[in-house]
Amino acid sequence: MERNKLLSIALAVSNIFRILIIAFITLFTFGIIHYQFSPEMYSNIELSDFDFKNSSSLSTSSFETTSVIGTKPISHDAVKIQDASNLSLIVLYLQSVVILGIWILILQQISQLIRSVKALETFRESNSTTFRMIGRYCFMLFIISGFRWMETDTASFMGIYINYLPLICMLGAFILAEIFKEGNKLHEAEQLTI
């Protein structure tokens, strides 16, 4: 009883997160479209992680470069949205939407796993395939989140990042896929002996 309750909560949380991500994508899309018509309303908004400084953390290694455009010196302040080129904003928007879309797909696969465990079909072949899909989606997250580009009137910023978290999740998903594959084989062998 307690197991099904926890699984039901996990399934509900997964569905809530998917709805929240879809709502955020919708609001983000509306914001980008609205910005094209009324850029003055967004004059004080700063784009984080585009401050033209080197940064790294325990979960990310980075290789960044900044080049000067024109004769003005590079400002080391955070980039305001009005200073960014339209192409930069479109690339940022598409990158963000693809990352959020991949998260929706991962949550969908997790929901599928939870449903199969609730139905007491834990070691079936499709669960192994589901973990492989999660691993592929994590690799896609690693690739898509691996670059950042922004261009302003005074500078062009390019960053390449090695984010370890999606790689670790990918490795874990592929290991679980093999464990569930072996579990499926053992389950089928047990069914044949009965």
User: 88-102, 140-154, 166-180 — which is least confidently predicted?
Assistant: 140-154
> Helix (H, G, I), strand (E, B), or coil: what is residue 78?
coil
CA angle at residue 104 from 39 to 128, to 5 degrees? 155
Q: What is the pLDDT of residue 123?
A: 79
Residue 55 has pLDDT above 60, yes or no: no
> For residues 155 and 65, what is the distance between their CA atoms, to the nearest angstrom?
10
* Residue 65 · residue 158 · CB < 8 Å: yes
Q: What is the pLDDT of residue 86?
A: 87
Number of domains in the chain: 1
Q: What is the pLDDT of residue 125?
A: 83
As given in the structure block, the two tokens for residue 144 are: 């898509």
Q: What pTM value is reported for the model?
A: 0.81
Q: Domain range holding 189? A: 2-193
> For residues 65 and 54, what is the distance between their CA atoms, to the nearest angstrom?
9
Place of tokens 């598409």: 94
**Average pLDDT value for residue range 108-115:** 94
Q: What is the pLDDT of residue 140?
A: 96
